[in-house]
Structure 1
Amino acid sequence: MEFRHVLAFLAIADELHFGRAAAKLHLTQPSLSQQLQRLERTLGVELVSRTTHEVRLTRAGKAFEVEARILIRQVEKAGRSAREAAAGRSGTIRVGYNFPAGQHVLPAALEKMQTDFPDVTVVLEEKSTGGQLRALGDGALDVALVYGRPVTSKFQHRLLLRLSMVAVVGRTHKWAGRPGVPFAELAGQTCVLFQRQLSPAMYDAIVRGADQAGIRLKVAYELEDPSAIEILVTARPVVGFASVSRAMLAGAVVGGAQVVPVQLYDPVPVVDLYAAWREGQNNQLRNSFLSCLDAVGPFPGPPLRNSIGS
């Protein structure tokens, strides 16, 4: 059954006149008649009864008309859906994010997406920076919200905000009552870090801070799960590290434990949050999401401090 034959039949059903139906479709009457005959032969039934005085639908024609109109609406809907998806106005986009992105970027961005692109579904996946970049490279994510500028040319990127980093300790640690400490004092502390591949930019910011302070960190543990740091610092007299965004939850349960943030200064370690996506792909849904990021930015992250008094 050809789609054009169905359209020809429906034009006849609308007009009940071959001349007007042919004009409506910009066809000759013989061509219209041939298309109707081919449709009837395909179905094996007569759809239209035609005399010199009257054109009417047969009982089979009336039944077919009902289903044919449903078919046409479905085809039109499919066409609209395809055009909407091609224009980035419908479909599904997969976005990876980390804790500060979930706090400072996504709320406004998702609200803008809902307003401007209500037919787009945003699927969110919380992962470490390393996990997001692997998923982005594999095509499992369309956009990644990660720490640090991606170093590979396979990804494009956009800076979203800058975050300071703080030390985190347990409530009984001797630093727990201090508003801040100079970075150099970490030389006398046992530290816990996450494995570098989980978040290279954050790891390097900590190491760089130690270099600038002229010290060498004593790292007793490197964990596979950054959220486990908060648990470990409450159980042992060690110092961990977190973004100021995550540490803002001090006094609440974070990662299953109560931790206390301590400002570091001289220097203040900082890490940048970026949006990243694959280079060279014309992904309209991704572009729609990035346009919403642009519209609601710049993002008001927690304030950076250059010294304890500032």
Structure 2
Amino acid sequence: MTHDQVFDTIIIGGSYAGLSAAMALGRSLRNVLIIDNGRPCNRQTPHSHNFLTQDGKTPAEISAIAREQVAQYNTIEFASDSVVTASQLNGLFVVDTANGLHYQTRKLILATGIRDIMPEIPGFSECWGVSVIHCPYCHGYEFRRKRTGILVPEDPTAAIHLSGLVKNLTSYVTLFTNGNTPFDATQLMNFEELNIKVNTQKISKIQHQDGNLQQLRLENGEMIALDALYARVPFDLHHTIGEQLGCSKTEMGLLQVDAFQKTTASGVYACGDISNPMRSVASAVYTGNLAGAMVNMALCEAKP
């Protein structure tokens, strides 16, 4: 079924970035449709931090407040659905959803976030966002002075950078290479000087209680007690909407945007985690607000 209205903007994704973009557009009297399936990547995280006025609230609580405030602007509509395809036709974008609906819009904002790909370690996914964490700015304070590990990714450069940030928060830091040997002699000596341990054993299981890490079981039978484990896991965009529209990606696999959140596809903007490696509520809200403002400006400048 085709929706008769042509929207000024359709926003795909209704979490922090999408809602922030919608608020900027709603306050500019733009007709906006937010399409969201209600499954944000941080739904398992117990508390959100490092965002002024909302520090310590649950992600769902922040989203609920944001959605309630955005809904007050009567030019904004919501659809509980998932977008399957998007294309351009006669100067408009045509969006098709999983529920069989078809929408048309003048501009498009992608704010769908990313999908984390968990390693095949039993217990990892249950702890993700609770005690297996990705960001010291978002979660590190709560685990200050605690027994902390860092799961070393394939590229050890990220772990080297992260180890300094974590060491600032706790003296109890261990790097787990999970069976790999990514560090050279000089790097190992630097870790030793900083009193950062390096464990090369493969992890066989994460033991936890309701997502709260208790200890790592290693393949050699050793048990390592831990309170937190940092991990930078691979991800994908869990859809091909950007590719369908001709959006280029960065080397990291995110959608490429300029300083105004424009993608490389004309009329398509992106914000939040899908376009920004700084995975935080504050960054999502900022990039969403900027995307909304830039779309409104583009609409104002467009020829009738």
The reply to whether TM is greater than 0.5 is: no
Q: Between Structure 1 and Structure 2, which shows a larger proportion of helix residues?
A: 1
Please, what TM-score do these two structures have when normalized by structure 1? 0.22
Q: Which has the larger radius of gyration?
A: 1
